Amino acid sequence: MISTRSRFWVLVSFVMISGFSQGMLLPLLAIILEQNGVSSSVNGLHATGLYIGVLIASPFMEKPLRKFGYKPIILLGGLLMFIALILFPVYQSIVFWFVLRLLIGIGDQMVNFSSQTWITSTTPASRRGRTVALYGLFFSLGFAFGPLMSRFIQIHESLPFLIAAGLCLTVWLLVWFIKNEHIAESGEIDNVQTTSTIQRFITSTKLAWIAFLGPLAYGILEALLHGIFPIYGLRIGHDVEVISLIIPFFSLSTLITQVPLGALGDRIGRQKLLGIVTAIGSVIFFLSAQFEHSTVALICTFAFSGMLLGSLFSMGVSYMADIVPRELLPAGNIMCGVSFSLGSIAGPNLGGLFIDIFPNVSFFYMIVVILIILSTLFFVKKKPVLNH
């Protein structure tokens, strides 16, 4: 069995593969379906399959985790991801691919929820921002390299799926060397005192809904930029190679600021920081709408917005862990995943409809409006009483 420190790196490596798979599938399938003549609204709806899978799995995660521990849930989730990825090249069908996206969403939720809860429940509050930022950094690293796989469809359409499946299998094998733990054994999370799983979800939402807006915003933004921008980019004249080059800058730039922003949140407060980054982000996308035909301008947009907004998920998770009691951490982590999924489902649907209804209006304006609303909520909401 490997050490506790090595366990952390195995967990974040699996999270990185999860991000890689998501980052690959969103633009890759969007481009393939667009080239096959699928409408942008249907394409956007199809992109929600992964996040619908996350929502399907979310209510059923907590009890198995408490019963079987972290490791079995991660192994089962990773196996589902591998099977789905290896099946994509077998048969090209909108319905079949949607089902595979559902399976990947379920597997992703099992891996991410278990890893996220394991990490947050065993990290002291004084280091939580930095540690969860590292978790987010590895997800962003995977997400950044995922879109680059779109280029490999020019070699063979199956190649990106096979590469992702191979990476998934490699890290999945490493998880077998981790010693399993249960929530009750961690010493950090007490036995749940609330009466039911639903009640725990309700209680954690009442306490930490403002923190859940971070994952919600990240889900909307990630899905729009990776699932809808490729469609929009093709329609305003950019080619596949340019689009696959632009998209990774959002996640790559996140690597520069993920840990510093996590540490800054530890010092000045995460709610204040969330309000600041979403406000500045709205300005960046407003400027982007003016220069969207320029490749250089789009690269700058994705890079600067990634530096500010790529940490929304990890900041939200850290803030949730600050607010909720320890016995509600599993439920809180699930609700972070649910919020992310709801944003990821809403993003492609709203984006696809926006392009269809307003074909001559920059879809970046939609992002501006969303960020202004979220920033306002972060600034006007009274700061919750923290549990530490």
All residues at 6 or more sequence positions from 17 whose CB lies less than 8 Å from its CB, including other chains: 81, 142, 164, 167, 168, 171
**C-alpha 285: how far from chain center:** 20
What is the per-residue pLDDT for 262? Answer: 83
Q: 147 and 244 in contact (C-beta within 8 Å)?
A: yes
Query: What is the DSSP annotation of 216-240?
Result: HHHHHHHHIIIIIHHHHHHHTT--H
The pLDDT tens digits for 147-170 are 788 778 778 888 989 999 999 999
Angle at the Cα of 45 (from 42 to 47), degrees rounded to 5? 110
Q: What percent of the chain has pLDDT over 70?
A: 92
Q: What is the average per-residue pLDDT within 355-380?
A: 91
CA-based radius of gyration for the chain:
20
Query: What is the DSSP annotation of 116-164?
Result: HHHHHHTS-GGGHHHHHHHHHHHHHHHHHHGGGGGGGGGT-TTHHHHHH
The pLDDT tens digits for 74-122 are 999 999 999 999 999 988 888 899 999 999 999 998 998 888 888 877 7
pLDDT tier for residue 125 given thresholds of 50, 70 and 90? low
Residue 11 tokens read as: 């967990």
Note the pTM of the prediction, 2 decimals: 0.73
The pair phi, psi for residue 123, each rounded to 5°, is -110, 130
What is the per-residue pLDDT for 192? Answer: 41
What is the per-residue pLDDT for 197? Answer: 67
What is the per-residue pLDDT for 273? Answer: 93
Domains defined for the chain, CATH in brackets: 4-182+194-380 (1.20.1250.20)
Q: What is the average per-residue pLDDT within 49-58?
A: 84
pLDDT tier for residue 184 given thresholds of 50, 70 and 90? low
Average pLDDT over the chain reads: 84
* 369/375 Cα distance (integer angstroms): 10
30 CB-contact burial (10 Å; exposed 0-12 / middle 13-18 / buried 19+): buried
